[in-house]
Structure 1
Amino acid sequence: MSPTISYKDSSRQRRPGSYQNSVDMLKRELPPPDFCGDGRAEVGDDREALLQEPSVTPLGTPRGYRAELGSILLLLFLYVLQGIPLGLAGSIPLILQSKNVSYTDQAFFSFVFWPFSLKLLWAPLVDAVYFKSFGRRKSWLVPTQYTLGLFMMYLSRQVDSLLGEEDGKSPDVVALTVTFFLFEFLAATQDIAVDGWALTMLSRENVGYASTCNSVGQTAGYFLGNVLFLALESASFCNKYLRFQPQPRGIVTLSDFLFYWGAVFLITTTLVALLKKEDRERHPSKEETKGIMDTYKLLFSIVKMPAVLTFCALILTAKIGFSAADAVTGLKLVEEGVPKEHLALLAVPMVPLQIILPLIISKYTAGPQPLNTFYKAMPFRLRCTACMLL
């Protein structure tokens, strides 16, 4: 988050020729819009599109989304890739439950999802350290996705042993937790880089599409890595719906799935590195932070704001009322004999809703009071949870 959000640049309100006389000029001792407070011209190669001056993008000529359709589709695809590790990590508890793993081990495995909750801790590092010649966001996105691809291909050779498929032993939950924690850490780092790139990739008029790409892309990626994988991995599902001759195994295994998506990560990352260029013509604002320590100081100053503390308290406590129902219901159903692939298919009707709903409510959440929708929806979700427990 840039500190420019907290300060209004007075140069945005000026127009050339607005001063009528020298007295008026003396009253308004303002620096030129292209200079820092110490008189030096601002330099840089990366400026958030949200902070563009009117001189960069004239208000009279707004850019429609069609002009940036390629960038929007690229963002959507990057968020789809981001959802694959999330979906795979979400499918592991169902596989473990089918092997009669204890709830204590299930709770321990849930640590793998923490990187997405704690990514704020290293997000300033991702924002401040980069190679200018390669690009601010690509400096992290490309190495991270290459590492993800190689990690998935390596994991494809080890995952059967970790799950106890080869020797008939019980799953090694500790090793699985450490492995998928690193997996999700890389995915969370990729998320930081993509979120930051969305601000510079899209113009000010179209930057709102970034959140839509995030919601739709992650949902689609989670569906591929969770629902589709569990269905194709199940021998009973494949024999019933996809095969003429029964086979003892599903169409794909977890190792096959990991190897395939590892190859996809490597190929697509190479294409992004070679073909997609970052815009280096925009100039950074004078409030933009320059180093790692400045970035962390800015982070702490923002976190200490009363409004931010209140919002953090809201986010940290909002899911207490239905966290147990969300986390345990699926595991209990598998324990009672419901096939994990059938449980995964229950999410299929929700996928179109999860993709379309953000598009519908975006006009309500993009205004000056975006949390009003959250406040109105939360009581209904709590009531639904209470009905499930009765």
Structure 2
Amino acid sequence: MSPTVSHKDSSRQRRPGGYHGALELGATSPAIDGDDAAVRLGHGDTEALLPGPPPPPLGPPRGCRGELGNVLLLLFLYVLQGIPLGLAGSVPLILQSKSVSYTDQAFFSFVFWPFSLKLLWAPLVDAVYFKRFGRRKSWLVPTQYFLGLFMLGLSTQVDSLLGDGEGHGPDVLALTATFFLFEFLAATQDIAVDGWALTMLSRENVGYASTCNSVGQTAGYFLGNVLFLALESASFCNKYLRFEPQPKGIVTLSDFLFFWGAIFLITTTLVALLKKENKEVTPSKEETKGITDTYKLLFSIVRMPAVFTFCVLILTAKVGFSAADAVTGLKLVEEGVPKEHLALLAVPMVPLQIILPLIISRYTAGPKPLNTFYKAMPFRLLLGLEFAFLVWWTPKVKHEGGFPTYYYIVVLLSYALHQVTLYSMYVAIMAFNAKVSDPLIGGTYMTLLNTVSNLGGNWPATVALWLVDPLTMKECVGAQEQNCRTTIAAELCAKEGGSCLTTLDGYYVESIICVVLGFGWWFLLGPKLKRLQDEGPSSWKCKRNN
């Protein structure tokens, strides 16, 4: 659902997630942008294009305590990475509270695409660098400087971009362009950090990189989304943190951006001056082929019949969930549910999100992990109808003081059930990708498959948001010969003393259409997806010239 989401079904973003990062309860998904640390691009940087086994580690083995400084640095870099993700995820909720159209929300959803598309420029990040300064620092340091300066500059303009509330609404076009660049820089920093993680830690401790990724990104997203939305809310601060009510929250988006912009600049300077890249790693460990060869390899993978079929199926598999995942959270805000309350509901979900992959992996570890994906799909589709009912029910239980406790319990239980189905499908896809990936080019292969899976969640979310307004029917009440079919017509209705009344909400129409399409996919194409598990290993091996 995602009262605040992702993100992460796809993507972030996941959280499996692309746009979900903005809509799933501010949650932490299996991977904020949809990639797990073990299969992220940094992993492909070294493993993907190396045909031979890695060289043995040099020097005596070191325990985790001996590398505590490196582990803490990695953890902090991933926390910084989560801040832009969390901030971008909070903007749709802020825009919704300012009554922007769903067409505008669809346009802003492109902000969440860079993390799903980073494979397009990752080979460049991997291949171009200044050797004396360091392969990863050549990208990490300037990217984080740009992020810091970007946040400082944005802090002076973001209030006007969001609208001043005096007749000037949000400038969605400028916000989208600004935050798209913001997320592009964050995705580039992600590539550099993932690659550095594999050489910053010794071979016996490199497994801690995935822990740093998961914990750090989750903490950063929490700070940039859940904590920010709570402290930005005047009602939350007045109720829980103040003795005397104030018209604004403790912090504004401008304040938050300025603070973290300064943190980015200070910490990046310290990393640039004080942290050296690991010189113990032999040059061959990180050597990859040229940029052109890398792109040719990706293209050759996609052209294989089995991979091409998988890509087509997975790009269309999530259409049935798009209305529930992308629109439900925004609809709840529209119906009066405080956005900070939706964000805070992510907190009790954290233990569940930790336990679920461990439980589900027991059922996906066998030869046919996609069976779990297929079995979970109808339950997730039915939850889309339950979410639509939840939105319909919301205004009926609202009272002067807000919403009763039992309402939030129902929302929480609904979200928990949604997480069970979402993680079942996510873990199944990750297990299948790991199973079929050619071990000689495992990192590149698996990252490509995960990228396609992320895009399969991004584009339906954008389309679902865009279709809400066209599918919604309104009529002008109180003014004759006027209608509310367009924004201009609605303004004329208001000028004539009328008001636009919704007679059919496009969200409900879209929810039914998505569920029908989803079950159609499940009946007609689902068995075809399962049959891919019967393909022999040769169907997935890429022919390449060494």
- Are the counterparts in 2 of residues 233 and 254 from structure 1 also a CA contact under 8 Å? yes
Q: Normalised by the size of structure 1, how large is the TM-score?
A: 0.79
Equivalent position SS for 1:198: helix
Measure how far apart 1:237 and its partner are: 0.4
Structure 1 Cα separation of the partners of residues 125 and 49 of structure 2: 21
- The residue that corresponds to 1:52 in the other structure is 54
One-letter code of the match for 1:52? P
Matches of residues 327-342 of structure 1 in structure 2 within 5 Å? 327-342=326-341
Measure how far apart 1:364 and its partner are: 6.6
Measure how far apart 1:299 and its partner are: 3.5
Structure 2 Cα separation of the partners of residues 248 and 317 of structure 1: 46
Matches of residues 223-302 of structure 1 in structure 2 within 5 Å? 223-285=222-284, 288-302=287-301
CA RMSD of aligned residues (A): 3.0
Structure 2 Cα separation of the partners of residues 359 and 73 of structure 1: 25
Q: Which has the higher contact order (CA 8 A, sep 6+)?
A: 1
Equivalent position SS for 1:92: helix
CA change 1:2–1:116 in 2 (3 A) is closer
Measure how far apart 1:177 and its partner are: 0.5
Measure how far apart 1:292 and its partner are: 2.9
- The residue that corresponds to 1:148 in the other structure is 147
- Are the counterparts in 2 of residues 146 and 266 from structure 1 also a CA contact under 8 Å? yes
Measure how far apart 1:275 and its partner are: 1.7
Structure 2 Cα separation of the partners of residues 304 and 288 of structure 1: 26
One-letter code of the match for 1:187? A
Structure 2 Cα separation of the partners of residues 136 and 104 of structure 1: 42
One-letter code of the match for 1:173? V
Does residue 379 of structure 2 align to residue 383 of structure 1? yes
- The residue that corresponds to 1:99 in the other structure is 98
Q: Normalised by the size of structure 2, how large is the TM-score?
A: 0.57
- Are the counterparts in 2 of residues 91 and 226 from structure 1 also a CA contact under 8 Å? yes
After superposition, what is the alpha-carbon deviation per residue over 1:37-68, rounded to whole angstroms, capped at 9, x for unaligned? xxxxxxxxxxxxxx5323x358xx75443332
CA change 1:348–1:127 in 2 (3 A) is same
Measure how far apart 1:343 and its partner are: 1.4
CA change 1:160–1:124 in 2 (3 A) is same
Structure 2 Cα separation of the partners of residues 308 and 7 of structure 1: 21
One-letter code of the match for 2:54? Q
Structure 1 gaps, min length 5: 10-50
CA change 1:159–1:4 in 2 (3 A) is closer
Matches of residues 144-183 of structure 1 in structure 2 within 5 Å? 144-165=143-164, 167-183=166-182
- The residue that corresponds to 2:513 in the other structure is none
After superposition, what is the alpha-carbon deviation per residue over 1:246-276, rounded to whole angstroms, capped at 9, x for unaligned? 0010000000000001011111111111221
CA change 1:160–1:2 in 2 (3 A) is closer
Measure how far apart 1:279 and its partner are: 1.3
Number of aligned positions between the proteins? 343
Measure how far apart 1:277 and its partner are: 1.1
One-letter code of the match for 2:111? V
Measure how far apart 1:352 and its partner are: 4.4
Structure 2 Cα separation of the partners of residues 343 and 163 of structure 1: 21
CA change 1:166–1:323 in 2 (3 A) is closer
Structure 2 Cα separation of the partners of residues 264 and 370 of structure 1: 47
- The residue that corresponds to 2:128 in the other structure is 129
CA change 1:312–1:198 in 2 (3 A) is farther
CA change 1:222–1:310 in 2 (3 A) is farther
After superposition, what is the alpha-carbon deviation per residue over 1:175-197, rounded to whole angstroms, capped at 9, x for unaligned? 11101000000001001111111
- The residue that corresponds to 2:210 in the other structure is 211
After superposition, what is the alpha-carbon deviation per residue over 1:254-312, rounded to whole angstroms, capped at 9, x for unaligned? 00000001011111111111221111332233994353323333443444456654664
Equivalent position SS for 2:146: helix
CA change 1:368–1:275 in 2 (3 A) is farther
- Are the counterparts in 2 of residues 144 and 186 from structure 1 also a CA contact under 8 Å? yes
One-letter code of the match for 1:104? T
- The residue that corresponds to 1:42 in the other structure is none
Structure 2 Cα separation of the partners of residues 255 and 3 of structure 1: 39
Measure how far apart 1:205 and its partner are: 2.6
Measure how far apart 1:243 and its partner are: 0.1
Structure 1 Cα separation of the partners of residues 330 and 143 of structure 2: 32
Structure 2 Cα separation of the partners of residues 370 and 173 of structure 1: 47
Measure how far apart 1:313 and its partner are: 4.6
Structure 2 Cα separation of the partners of residues 311 and 68 of structure 1: 41
Equivalent position SS for 2:284: coil
CA change 1:320–1:362 in 2 (3 A) is same
After superposition, what is the alpha-carbon deviation per residue over 1:179-220, rounded to whole angstroms, capped at 9, x for unaligned? 100000000100111111112112333222222222221111
- The residue that corresponds to 2:190 in the other structure is 191
Which piece of structure 1 moves more, 113-122 or 209-218? 209-218
Structure 1 Cα separation of the partners of residues 368 and 259 of structure 2: 40
Measure how far apart 1:124 and its partner are: 0.6
Measure how far apart 1:230 and its partner are: 0.6
One-letter code of the match for 2:125? V
One-letter code of the match for 1:284? P
- Are the counterparts in 2 of residues 223 and 351 from structure 1 also a CA contact under 8 Å? no
- Are the counterparts in 2 of residues 219 and 351 from structure 1 also a CA contact under 8 Å? no
Structure 2 Cα separation of the partners of residues 207 and 99 of structure 1: 46
CA change 1:102–1:305 in 2 (3 A) is same
CA change 1:338–1:359 in 2 (3 A) is closer
CA change 1:313–1:57 in 2 (3 A) is farther
- Are the counterparts in 2 of residues 84 and 221 from structure 1 also a CA contact under 8 Å? yes
Structure 2 Cα separation of the partners of residues 136 and 368 of structure 1: 36
CA change 1:361–1:248 in 2 (3 A) is same
- The residue that corresponds to 2:347 in the other structure is 348
Structure 2 gaps, min length 5: 1-43, 387-546
- Are the counterparts in 2 of residues 4 and 285 from structure 1 also a CA contact under 8 Å? no
After superposition, what is the alpha-carbon deviation per residue over 1:317-346, rounded to whole angstroms, capped at 9, x for unaligned? 453342321211110101111111111111
Residue identity (%):
78
Equivalent position SS for 2:113: helix
